[in-house]
Amino acid sequence: MAQKTVLIVYAHQSPGSFNGAVRDVAVQELTEQGYRVIVSDLYAMDFRASAIQDDIIGDLKNSELFQYGEETMYAWMDGRLSEDITAEQRKIEEAELIIFQFPLYWFSVPAIMKGWMDRVLTQGFAFSLEKMYNNGIFKDKKAMLSFTTGATQTMFRPDGINGDINITLWPLQNGTLHFCGFQVLAPQIFWSPAHCPHMVRTAMLDGWRARLKGLLAEKPLTFAPCELFDLSFQGGFLLWPKVREEQESHPYGITTGHHLGKLLPPDNQTKAQPTDEK
């Protein structure tokens, strides 16, 4: 069998950080399991976050009005994307799993990692209106978020001051990863390591190492499949009326995002659900 590859997209300025330790545990454990592990250390690479015209080699399709999404799609089709983008796209193509390792900044990823997503996940390469969500281009690959927080876990509860962590994760896990087709594994969250004693941080790393031993066999998170929606501009990409009618008797919404004005399904973005649950 061919050796399987894991890509870690890593964003932290300090090699001696807790994020660095989490990355090192993943590299060591997955390598010991026989995986080829690639690390894109974005700060060390000085990866450019801004999406600009320099990402395209050669002439624009429309020089009068520069539209980044369209121009990078055409450039990808023609093999005219800048080398830093194509190098990351090759890594994605090779990887069975992508782990995004980062500290949570302003309820999201650091700017340099957001720039990686903006520039690398180009239209055509990573998604299209015909190939998205569970029918997406990367539907045979897995991805996950692994991150640290400054806040405690209680601060991200539904009754905590920061609000439900499931809502915080929805744009990244559904709107970016699952939109591109990835099977999204439950996030690995390291709650407030900077404010924990050494023994607690050590226990966090031990728990991560233990999870990594069976990570690739885990069941992914649950998202609403495209088949529930009328995927046409005439239908507005809305739930089919029959589906909405069927959902009326359910106590919870379908997902964190498709809540239908009901209670959010518990832990929808943090834990894999049993097979018989939506």
Same domain, 98 and 212: yes
- Report the pLDDT averaged over residues 187-197: 96
Q: What is the pLDDT of residues 255-265, one digit of tens each?
A: 999 999 999 99
3-state secondary structure of 10: strand
Domain end point (choices 188, 220, 252): 220
User: 277 pLDDT exceeds 90?
Assistant: no
Instruction: For residue 98, give the H/E element and its range.
Output: strand 97-103
Same domain, 231 and 114: no
Q: Is the dihedral of CA 249, 253, 259, 264 positive or negative?
A: positive
Q: How far is it, in rounded angstroms, from Cα 84 to Cα 48?
A: 9
Residue 243, CB half-sphere, CA atoms under 13 Å: how many? 16
Q: How far is it, in rounded angstroms, from Cα 214 to Cα 278?
A: 24
Phi first, then psi, for residue 41 (nearest 5°) are: -85, 95
Contact 95, 38 (CB under 8 A): yes
274 — pLDDT class (breaks 50, 70, 90) = confident
Higher pLDDT among residues 250 and 2, named by residue: 250
pLDDT of residue 278: 40
pLDDT of residue 223: 97
Tokens of 26: 């993943």
Same domain, 153 and 250: no
pLDDT of residue 149: 98
Q: What is the pLDDT of residues 16-46, one digit of tens each?
A: 999 999 999 999 999 999 999 999 999 999 9
Q: How far is it, in rounded angstroms, from Cα 87 to Cα 104?
A: 26
Same domain, 226 and 208: no
Q: At CB < 8 A and 24+ separation, what contacts does 188-191 make? A: 188/22, 188/144, 188/145, 188/146, 188/147, 189/146, 189/147, 189/149, 189/153, 189/165, 189/270, 190/18, 190/22, 190/146, 190/147, 190/148, 190/149, 191/149, 191/151, 191/152, 191/153
User: 2 pLDDT exceeds 90?
Assistant: no
Same domain, 166 and 256: no
Q: Is the dihedral of CA 118, 225, 74, 144 positive or negative?
A: positive
Average pLDDT score over the chain: 95
Reference 257, options 189, 135, 175, 187; nearest CA is 175
DSSP string, 155-194: GGSTTSTT--HHHHHHHHIIIIIGGGTPEEPPPEEE--GG
User: 87 pLDDT exceeds 80?
Assistant: yes
- Report the pLDDT averaged over residues 84-102: 98
Instruction: Quote the domain boundaries for residue 240.
Output: 222-278
- Report the pLDDT averaged over residues 166-179: 98
Same domain, 210 and 272: no
pLDDT of residue 183: 98
Domain end point (choices 220, 243, 266): 220
Same domain, 9 and 32: yes
Domain count, the chain: 2
pLDDT of residue 118: 98
* CATH number of 168's domain: 3.40.50.360
pTM score of the predicted model: 0.95
Same domain, 201 and 128: yes
Q: What is the pLDDT of residues 151-168, one digit of tens each?
A: 999 999 999 999 999 999
Same domain, 271 and 158: no
pLDDT of residue 129: 87
